């Protein structure tokens, strides 16, 4: 799939977060897509990055490349998740999954698993990170939510509910933690160019015998004014900026990066 005009992917130097030397950052779901891009950007800004994923190969190779620390953890093991936040200055809760089904047929075990991964695990991680952040008077929490944390779509009940819950958690932390120099914000991407999305686009293009860009514009982004996928590096640049000194007065907010989808 070729890049769309309008994004200079080479220009995303990820320097907007400022100097993060001496900071220790935790990124979940770091093995691919948005998590990979955020981890690289934090490392470029000088932070030591703890890479969390349940797939060892993806984070071990990335850790070797950027000088980070791999942690192979299934975040649905909530006790293990609760041990990850100690001794970090920056938390990026990024890990997530999707399952599509109508509410009356949605598997209850899948619903519970998605809440564990996208609500309970972030809560456990934040809970363990805050005491150290409070003690030093500085901390940054970035929750990678979604446009679906602000709006709803049919057949995505668990994902929409979990992202709305993450939004509420993020805002509560922001209110509690502000006096300790800790900020908490959500980043809300729309459809991002990840391996999962690109596979879905390719399958739809083959099924309907149309170009992939037509699938993106006419199906995936039908209601989105900007007719291109968001790049992982764009989401990373925003997340990393929220970790730096220039965003110290921004907390408790949700920042859509969805091509205008939530403007409707």
Residue 129 DSSP SS3: helix
Q: Which of 111, 98, 198 is nearest to 147 (CA)?
A: 98
Residue where the block lists tokens 């006096």: 179
One-letter-per-residue 3-state SS of 65-117 = HHCCEEEECCCCCHHHHCCCCCCCCEEEECCCCCCCECHHHCCHHHHHHHHHH
Per-residue pLDDT of the chain in tens (264 residues, 90 and over written 9): 444 444 444 344 444 557 999 999 999 999 999 999 999 999 999 999 999 999 999 999 999 999 999 999 999 999 999 999 999 999 999 999 998 899 999 999 999 999 999 999 999 999 999 999 999 999 999 999 999 999 999 999 999 999 999 999 999 999 999 999 999 999 999 999 988 788 878 888 888 899 999 999 988 899 999 999 999 999 999 999 999 999 999 999 999 999 999 998
pLDDT value of residue 17: 58
Q: Which of 31, 3, 49 is nearest to 231 (CA)?
A: 3
Exactly one of 17, 88, 159, 190 is catalytic; name it. Answer: 159
CA 38/CA 236 separation, integer angstroms: 5
Catalytic site residue 134? no
- Is pTM, for the whole model, over 0.85? yes
Report yes or no: 96 and 196 within 8 Å, Cβ to Cβ.
Answer: no
Helices (H) and strands (E) in the chain, counts: 9, 7
The two structure tokens encoding residue 81:
């998740």
List C-alpha distances in Å: 44 to 17, 25, 69, 97: 10, 12, 15, 27
The two structure tokens encoding residue 164:
């709305």
* Alpha-helical runs (H) found in 152-194: 157-177
Characterize the bridge pairing of strands 139-144 and 182-189.
parallel
């Amino acid at each position: 799939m070729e890049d769309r005009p309008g994004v200079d992917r080479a220009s995303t130097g990820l320097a907007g977060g400022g100097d993060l030397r001496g900071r220790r950052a935790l990124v979940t779901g770091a093995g691919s897509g948005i998590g990979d891009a955020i981890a690289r950007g934090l490392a470029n800004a000088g932070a030591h990055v703890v890479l969390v994923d349940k797939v060892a190969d993806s984070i071990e190779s990335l850790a070797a490349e950027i000088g980070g620390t791999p942690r192979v953890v299934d975040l649905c093991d909530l006790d293990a998740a609760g041990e990850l936040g100690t001794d970090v200055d920056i938390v990026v809760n990024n890990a997530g999954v999707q399952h599509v089904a109508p509410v009356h047929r949605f598997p209850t075990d899948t619903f519970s698993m998605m809440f564990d991964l996208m609500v309970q695990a972030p809560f456990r991680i934040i809970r363990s990170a805050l005491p150290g952040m409070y003690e030093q008077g500085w901390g940054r929490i970035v929750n990678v939510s979604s446009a679906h944390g602000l709006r709803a779509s049919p057949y995505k009940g668990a994902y929409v509910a979990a992202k709305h819950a993450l939004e509420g958690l993020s805002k509560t932390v922001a209110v509690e933690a502000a006096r300790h120099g800790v900020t908490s914000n959500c980043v809300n991407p729309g459809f991002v160019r990840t391996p999962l999305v690109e596979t879905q686009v390719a399958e739809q293009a083959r099924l309907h015998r149309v170009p992939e860009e037509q699938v993106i514009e006419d199906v995936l982004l039908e209601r989105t004014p900007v007719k291109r996928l968001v790049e992982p590096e764009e989401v990373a640049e925003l997340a990393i900026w929220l970790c730096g000194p220039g965003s110290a007065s921004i907390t408790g907010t949700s920042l859509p990066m969805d091509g205008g989808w939530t403007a409707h």
